[in-house]
Chains A and B, each alone.
Chain A
Amino acid sequence: MVNKWEKVPKEDLEKDKVLRKSLTYWEDAWRRLKHNKLSMLGLVTIILIFMTAVFGPMLSKFSYEDQNLDFGNVPPRLEIYKVTDNEYIYVHAEYKALLVNEKGELQSLLKPSKNDMAKGQRTYDVAGREVVLDFSNAKKAKKNPGIKKFEVLIDGTTVDSHKKIWNKTYIFGTDAHGRDMFVRVLFGARISLLVALMATIVNFFVGIVYGGVSGYLGGRADSLMMRFIDLISTIPLLLYVILLMVIIEPGLKTIIVAMGFTYWVRMARIVRGQALSIKEHEYVLAAKTIGASSSRIIMRHIIPNAMGPIIVSLTMMIPSAIFTESFLSFIGLGVSAPQASWGTLASDALGGLRTYPYQLLFPSLAISITMLAFNFLGDGLRDALDPRLRK
């Protein structure tokens, strides 16, 4: 016979105690997010991009508008020819010779002492030695890849390239006007992030409030407000933005204004859907019974409780805003020169794509990495914040 009334030892009781503090919604979401490696990678990347965009241009010795026409279209990787121990030359794709040192710092553009275009030869005088740049085969080389485009002759003998080095002066190379691509890409990051920030603000202040009010009020006001949204969204938003941009002067300010007019629509829809269900909860009723005003209920109860879906859709909307900006810049409606955004940089690179592909590579990589980071973060946030996915 088992004694049903046996005394339980104290240690066993201790075991059942809840020692850990219970987690709030946000703590729990953060805990989940931390387990998602891709999302954390995305988050870290976004923070890094922010930091480099803000502080990067300060560290560089060039500014985004500094031109040096002598060093136009210089790639990040240089194939150099040795003349003396300290003097090397790099042959530019336009058959100009640049003086470089062994570390890869650009010195100067060499002036030819003889420029024989008919023979396809340029002669330079480097440290007392005669350097001949022979590009008479350039046309043939276009058709036949086996032929070298040019040859370098020092004191009459053909020399092979010494080695390939990285460009230390301009680590991402330069554009056609000799502006530093590195600083310009970072400057483009500033513009993209500014657009992202503004899109966020507009979404917050217009979209969320509009959706919250519409969903909370319900009835006729709701259907009227939603018809208005339907009207706006029956047309691709990009079309609106382009139309607005044509009418008001193109530029960063107008991109933000034009996007502000149109890009809150999706957010308003999401918040309205949330508000419709949240307003049926007991705590809203309780707030009403103690006499809280509608605006207080919307601001203090409905919107904070809809924050999960809001943040998730925000991380999805930010890349779309960045994309729109680069798209507009690409078709020539974005920021104007000498300012640069990733879209204008990619667009500028298009003309010289065959010869200077690096000019497209860096802005494209920057856009893609940023979009990828936001996408990863958004996916992770959705998993972390969506209560339906909880097990």
Chain B
Amino acid sequence: MGKFIIKRFIQMFITLYLVVTATFFLMHAIPGGPFTREKPLPPAVIAALEAKFKLDQPLYVQYFDYMKGVFTFDFGPSFQKVGVDVTDLILKGLPASAKVGGTAVVLVLIVGIPLGMISALKRNKWQDYVVTFIATLGVTIPSFVVATLIIYVFSAKLGVLPAFGLKTWKHYIGPVLALGGFSLAFVARLTRSSMLEVLQQDYIRTARAKGLSEFVVIGKHALKNALIPVVTYVGPMIASILTGSFVIEKIFAIPGMGKYFVESVGNRDYTVIIGVTVFYAAFYIIMVFLVDIIYCLIDPRIKLED
């Protein structure tokens, strides 16, 4: 177990290192440089700007500087917003993003799994059809459509939900639903199919034959095993919620990281794009690492040495 964790840990660092390197060199491969404007700036201004952002130094020096910066959580200054560090932007946006994203993850797990279970236990009854219908809709309707529909129906027409911002609990309903909708539907589908498979296993029949109550059979024997594929999905789910937040935060005007990211993509603020990408990637890699460990802990069939 310890050996596996150490191995995965080293792997995680190698990946992170490669991601930072790749993004750094991609950023420097952009033709034109960050100070190219429609109206060319005087050469002296460009030289001064390059000296200020240390762009006049050789590439390898810049590379090591950037590397050092990343490990001390310093992504350098923004090229477009004067006097603002990328790290400041990330720290400013993180709380809002984390609150919405975290709520979405919790919602997905505490609603998605029970929905899938109900659907599996009431197979081919009306409950099953309702859940399957909702799940299919959730998987097929893109998050930005869900978000705009929520705004149109609940904010513009009915006026029951606020359209933007993040002040009261009511502000969370729209973004969380739009952000978690896809994952919720997917988790419900996944739970349903794996539950159906588990319910046909011999050990479920044995448990019933022993005279255990239905609650114990489902809760203790079936659910535990049915959740294994769901845990596997948690990694990709984090990815989908992370990337989903780009659009959701823009639509609901939530001052989170996703909004800054989309903004920086819009005005080609390269250091912000790279910084936020590296941050997202690091966050995602660490999350997947944690999920991997949890996965190994709950499923004894997986050989840890492998």
Are A and B co-members of a single complex?
Answer: yes
Judging by beta carbons under 8 Å apart, are B142 and A327 in contact? Answer: yes
- A330 contacts across to B, CB distance below 8 A: 144, 247
Complex CA gap A223/B56 in Å reads 41
Give the contacts of A227-242 with B (CB-CB under 8 A): 230-231, 234-236, 238-239, 242
Would you call A375 and B136 a contact (CB within 8 A)? yes
Minimum C-beta distance from A102 to chain B (A): 31
Tell me if A235 and B139 are in contact (CB < 8 A).
no
B130 CB within 8 Å of chain A? no
Task: Enumerate chain B residues within 8 angstroms of A346, measured Cβ to Cβ.
Answer: 144-145, 148
Interface class of chain A by DSSP: helix
Selected interface stretch from B23-31, B74-82, B212-220, B226-234: B23-31
Bound CA span A244–B265, Å: 11
Query: From residue 319 to 333 of chain A, which have CB atoms closer than 8 A to chain B?
Result: 319, 323, 326-327, 330-333
Question: Which residues of chain A are within 8 angstroms of B149 by Cβ–Cβ distance?
Answer: 364
Q: Are A354 and B144 CB-contacts (below 8 A) given A231-B18, A236-B242, A332-B265?
A: no
Q: Is A56 an interface residue (CB 8 A)?
A: no
Q: What total of chain A residues lie within 8 Å of the partner, measured CB to CB?
A: 35
Evaluate contact between B140 and A331: CB separation under 8 angstroms. no
On whether the beta carbons of A354 and B148 are closer than 8 Å, the reply is no
Question: Which residues on the A side are within 8 Å of B27 (C-beta)?
Answer: 247
- Min CB distance A272 to B, Å, is 16
CB of A58 within 8 A of chain B? no
The answer, yes or no, to whether B268 is at the interface (CB within 8 Å) is: yes
A137 contact set on B, CB distance < 8 A: none
B250 contact set on A, CB distance < 8 A: 331
- Whether A234 and B284, one on each chain, are in contact in the complex, defined by CB atoms closer than 8 angstroms, is yes
Are A236 and B239 in contact (CB-based, < 8 A)?
Answer: yes
| A371 within 8 A of partner (CB) | yes
Closest residue on chain B to residue A331 by CB atoms: B262
Contact B265 A375 (CB under 8 A): no
What is the chain B residue whose CB lies nearest that of A38? B136
Closest chain B CB from A264 CB (angstroms): 17
Q: Which residue of B lies closest to A234 (CB)?
A: B15
Residues of A within 8 A of B242 (CB): 236
User: Do B265 and A246 touch across chains, with their CB atoms under 8 A apart?
Assistant: yes
Distance in Å from the Cβ of B300 to the closest Cβ of chain A? Answer: 23
Interface string of B130-174 (1 = CB under 8 A from A): 000000100111101100110110001000000000000000000
Contact B145 A364 (CB under 8 A): yes
Q: Which of B104-112, B198-206, B273-281 contacts A (4 or more CB under 8 A)?
A: B273-281
Residues of A within 8 A of B145 (CB): 346, 360, 364, 367-368
List residues of chain A with CB within 8 A of the CB of B152.
353-354, 357, 360
Bound-complex Cα distance A235 to B18 (A): 11
In the complex, whether B243 has a CB less than 8 A from a CB of chain A is: yes
Q: What's the dominant secondary structure at chain B's contact region?
A: helix
**How far, in whole Å, are A246 and B262 apart by their CA atoms in the complex?**
11
Specify the chain A residue showing the minimal Cβ separation from B23: A243
Q: How far is the CB of A270 from chain B (nearest CB, A)?
A: 15
- In the complex, chain A residues whose CB is within 8 Å of the CB of B281: 234-235, 239
- Nearest A-chain residue to B14, judged by Cβ: A231
Question: When A354-B152, A371-B140, A372-B140 are in contact, do A247 and B30 touch as well, CB less than 8 Å?
Answer: yes
Residue A224 at the B interface, CB < 8 A? no
Task: For the complex, give the distance between the alpha carbons of A231 and B281 in Å.
Answer: 12
Cβ of A350 < 8 Å from any Cβ of B? yes
Cβ contacts under 8 Å, B29 to chain A = 247
**Closest approach, in angstroms, between the C-beta of B13 and any C-beta of chain A?**
12
Complex CA–CA separation, A343 to B246 (angstroms)? 14
Question: What is the bound-complex CA distance between A247 and B22, given in angstroms?
Answer: 13
CA gap between A354 and B145 in the complex, in Å = 14
Q: Are B26 and A243 in contact (CB under 8 A)?
A: yes
What distance in Å separates the Cβ of A36 from its nearest Cβ neighbour in chain B? 14
CB nearest to B274 among chain A residues: A243
- With both chains docked as a complex, state the minimum distance between the C-beta of B79 and any C-beta of chain A, in angstroms: 13
Using A330-B247, A331-B246, A353-B151 as known contacts, say yes or no to A235 and B144 having CB atoms under 8 A apart.
no
Closest to B270 in A: A246
Contacts of B243-260 to chain A: CB distance below 8 A: 243, 246-247, 250-251
Of B30, B142, B262, which one neighbours A367 at CB under 8 angstroms? B142
Minimum CB distance partner of B182 in chain A: A323
Digitize A361-381: 1 where CB-to-B-CB distance is under 8 Å, 0 elsewhere: 000100110011001000000
Contact for B280 among A239, A333, A372, CB less than 8 A? A239
Query: Are A238 and B148 neighbours in the complex by a CB distance under 8 Å?
Result: no
Closest to B26 in A: A247
Chain B residues within 8 Å of A243, by CB? 23, 26, 273, 277
Complex interface: chain A residues within 8 A of B270 (CB): 246
Q: Does B67 contact A (CB under 8 A)?
A: no
Verify A331–B265 contact, CB threshold 8 A. yes
Assuming A242-B277, A331-B246, A364-B141, what are 17 further A-B pairs, CB within 8 angstroms? A231-B18, A234-B284, A236-B239, A236-B242, A236-B280, A236-B284, A244-B26, A246-B268, A246-B273, A247-B26, A332-B262, A353-B151, A354-B152, A360-B148, A367-B145, A368-B142, A371-B140
| Closest 4 A/B residue pairs (Cβ) | A236-B239, A371-B140, A364-B145, A238-B243
- Residue numbers of B with Cβ under 8 A of A are 15, 18-19, 23, 26-27, 29-30, 136, 139-142, 144-145, 148-149, 151-152, 156, 239-240, 242-243, 246-247, 250-251, 262, 265-266, 268, 270, 273, 277, 280-281, 284-285, 288
CB pairs A–B below 8 angstroms (8 shown) = A230-B15, A231-B18, A236-B280, A242-B265, A243-B273, A243-B277, A368-B141, A372-B136
